[in-house]
Amino acid sequence: MNKFLKKIVIYGLASFIVLNLIAFLSLYFLGKSSFYKQQFVKNGVKETTFDYIVLGSSTGLTTLDTKLIDSLTHRSGLNISIDDSGLSSHYLMLQHFYLSGKSTKKLILAVMPDDLENEKPKLNGNDYRFLPHNNEDEVQTFFNEIEGDNKIIYQTSKYVPLIGVSYFNTELFFPGILSIFQPTKRNLFDQNGNYSYPTINSSKKLEKTSNKIKKLEYKNPYLTKIIDFCRLNKVKLIIYQSPIYKTEVIFPDELNCVNQCSLFNVSEFFYDEIHVNSKGRRICSEDFSKNSFFLN
């Protein structure tokens, strides 16, 4: 019986070590790739200095086309937005961008009203994409400070990578394997970091939407962190609000804002209520490229 238990312990420990090694290698190869935006910024972007970057969630990712803006303004931009994220993730991404040896003159911070008014931000849906970089101080500090249901998974993955990789297996393990063979492959964004939603018939989905006016008070502590970061690094911060169908958003006077919320209210330019499609993206990008606050 003692021999049997000893073998179980030995085999169990050996399996634990081997599985952790596999998880570590999965994160390692993913961290050396360009698959997610975090890895793309670190490994796939060769330029080090930009005139501007666009940072936000899916609205930042799909509304401002940096390639089109660059062609119209003769500037150099990069979209480092991450879908399913919030201001907390944006702050971490901004630090990650700078610690990857990159810098920018202007930050176009794409925001959403609900996120701005969130006093107690939590972990966002795609924060697991930072796990390949969980040995970096800013990533660990972020995971230690912020709250969320899976906080313990993020914290312990630094020491036991099997925990994070097994929990987010589809999102981390398989991209890690893919990255061994295709390290330059990108996940739903182009060489400038942009992505667009297709043009579809949105009228039926949006026809029941009523007109709304929203006056904002920003309460999210991570906006203050971003403001302080920009001030410290001499970056001009421009708050950007993308179109929301049949909605007007009024921002506090102290925020430097380019507000396109009511730029158009035609359903053919929307993918859904808060996201424009490829037609709407072109209108937004062309209009933004003429904005004096951005150009100066």
pLDDT of residue 221: 97
For 213-248, what is each residue's pLDDT tens digit? 888 888 999 999 999 999 999 999 999 999 999 999
CA angle (32 as vertex; 29, 38 as ends), nearest 5 = 115
Other Cβ atoms closer than 10 A to 218: 21
pLDDT of residue 265: 85
Tell me the torsion sign for CA atoms 195, 199, 201, 207.
Answer: positive
pTM: 0.94
pLDDT of residue 256: 80
Tell me the torsion sign for CA atoms 264, 266, 269, 272.
Answer: positive
Q: Which of 57, 116, 59, 68 is nearest to 90 (CA)?
A: 57
In order of their start, the domains of the chain are: 36-149+188-295 (3.40.50)
For 66-96, what is each residue's pLDDT tens digit? 999 999 999 999 999 999 999 999 999 999 9
For 143-159, what is each residue's pLDDT tens digit? 999 999 899 999 999 99
By the 10 Å C-beta count (0-12 exposed, 13-18 middle, 19+ buried), 133 is classed as buried
d(CA 91, CA 100): 14
d(CA 76, CA 230): 19
User: What value does the mean pLDDT of the chain take?
Assistant: 93
Write out residues in the chain with pLDDT < 70, as ranges: 1, 4, 201-204, 207
